[in-house]
Amino acid sequence: MQVRYQLRHSPLLVPGGTRRYYAKTSPLGKSASHPARDHRQPGLGLFPWVEWLDMVSRRFRTTTHPTAPAKIGTPVTAADMEALLAQPGPITLTTVGVDWVSNLSGLLNLKHPVAVAAGLKNRKEPIKVYLYLVRHPERGLFLVDTGVSERFAREPASVGVGWALRAAANVAAMRPEPSTAQVLSTAAEPLQGVFLTHLHFDHISGLPDIPVNVPLYTGPGEAGTSVTLNLLAQGTTNRLLRGRPPLQELQIPSNPEGALDGVLDVFDDGSFFAILNPGHTAGHLAFVIRSTYGPILLTGDTSHLRWGWDNEVEPGSFLSNRDKARRSLLALKALAGRHPNMQVRLGHQP
């Protein structure tokens, strides 16, 4: 007897408790009880692998917090920016760092020929977690990155840091002295915004101390960066962003053939520039500041360590795309080389 088949749906419970559906065959005329289709994503029920991949990609993203295009800044060329760097600017910058310890293998590519030749091996490396206070005479007070909140370091579960991330990232080794709240308490003016080099947890670990209505600015596509490590960190990132407005994505057109991937004149006065610097994450940013005492480059995690910067060795396992990370590092090195008076502030060491 020839048996004809039709598609029916059966439930599959995926991580997080969401009920999805896969298709199975059964002879026509046979009854089969099954739940109604999940209509939140119409049309995907017959293609379970599409729905499954969508679910997995969401799980791997840095955050599922909403984003919106930022309405500040004007794209400029690297040459436009560099033409101004011989002149002092109006911004004052204050650097605050707190102690932490992390694995050298994550901070530095130990397989790089230069690192191998130097005999470097994995070890616990003393580092810093930074925040930078940017004071503009007309725009007011901003931060670059967020430092560390007392609650994040001392009571991590209370701000959503899961046990797996606490263990893997050695959160207990963070020393919030001073905490972000203490730093902000000494400021004589309200905080106008926070520019994030990227969304890794050690760059947003001060958010519990920052008012929820303060705008947060990121690079384009940063929230959607998809790497396996996000399985440990996404829940923490979402919790730290909960209740806040959408992340403001700076609109920086990519120019991978240029001296720099993309440059934004953030305040439209040539004083503060965001540089698209992908590799560590997809939307990673570096910043160039025309301060009252000369130009300053904030590399973010394009370079974590002084040894890596001096020897042109990119980060280790803590990145999303090694080729882009190395290109971004070399681009920033070349920028600093063209401006010998430029101070360079690295991601996690002086």
Strand order in the sheet with 74-76: 74-76, 263-265, 272-276, 285-291, 294-298, 343-345
Q: Answer left, alpha or beta for residue 229, where phi above 0 means left and psi between -120 and 50 means alpha.
A: alpha
Residue 335 in this model has a pLDDT that exceeds 50? yes
pLDDT tens, residue by residue, 46-84: 445 445 444 554 568 899 999 999 999 999 999 999 999
Burial class of residue 134 in the structure, from the number of CB atoms within 10 Å of its CB (0-12 exposed, 13-18 middle, 19+ buried): buried
The token pair that represents 201 in the structure block: 């947890």
Q: For the purposes of burial, counting CB atoms within 10 Å of the CB of 52, is it exposed (0-12), middle (13-18) or buried (19 or more)?
A: middle
Q: Which SS3 state, helix, strand or coil, does residue 32 take?
A: coil
Give yes or no for residue 8 having a pLDDT over 90.
Answer: no
List phi, psi (to 5°) of 53.
-65, -40
Q: Taking a C-beta distance cutoff of 8 angstroms, is the pair 322, 287 a contact?
A: no
The secondary structure of residue 37, as a DSSP letter, is P
Residue pair 325/302 in contact (Cβ under 8 Å)? The answer is yes
190 has pLDDT over 90: yes
> Which pLDDT score, from 0 to 100, does residue 59 have?
62
Can you tell me whether residue 249 is helix, strand or coil? strand
Residue ranges of the chain assigned to CATH 3.60.15.10: 68-345
- For the chain, the distance separating the N- and C-terminal CA atoms, rounded to the nearest angstrom, is 78
Tell me, what's the pLDDT at 230?
A: 78
Model confidence at 19, in pLDDT bands (50, 70, 90)?
A: very low
Average pLDDT over residues 194-202: 97
Q: What is the pLDDT of residue 58?
A: 55
The string of pLDDT tens digits covering residues 284-330 is 999 999 999 999 999 999 999 999 999 999 999 888 899 999 999 99
Cβ distance 63 to 240 under 8 Å?
no
Average pLDDT for the chain = 86
User: CB-hemisphere CA count at 13 Å for 30?
Assistant: 13
Q: Predicted confidence band at 40 (pLDDT cuts at 50, 70, 90)?
A: very low
Does the pLDDT value for residue 7 go beyond 80?
Answer: no
For the cut 80, the answer to whether the pLDDT of residue 1 exceeds it is no
**Amino acid 48: pLDDT:** 52
What whole-number distance in Å separates Cα of residue 81 and Cα of residue 108? Answer: 30
Residue that is written with structure tokens 């008012």 in the block: 211
CATH 3.40.1800.10 fits 68-345, yes or no: no
pLDDT at 140 over 50: yes
At 255, is the pLDDT very low, low, confident or very high (cuts 50, 70, 90)? confident
Name the pTM for this structure: 0.84
DSSP string, 135-163: EETTTEEEEES----HHHHHSGGGGT--H
% of the chain beyond a pLDDT of 90? 75
Does the pLDDT at position 30 exceed 60?
no
What residue type is 335 in one-letter code? L
Query: DSSP string covering 201-246, please?
Result: GGGSTTGGGS-TTS-EEE-TTGGG-B-TTHHHHHHHHHHHHTTSPP
Read off the pLDDT of each residue in 101-105 and give the average, rounded to a whole number: 96
Q: Which has more confidence, 36 or 138?
A: 138
Query: Above 90 in pLDDT, residue 214?
Result: yes
95 DSSP β-pair partners: 132
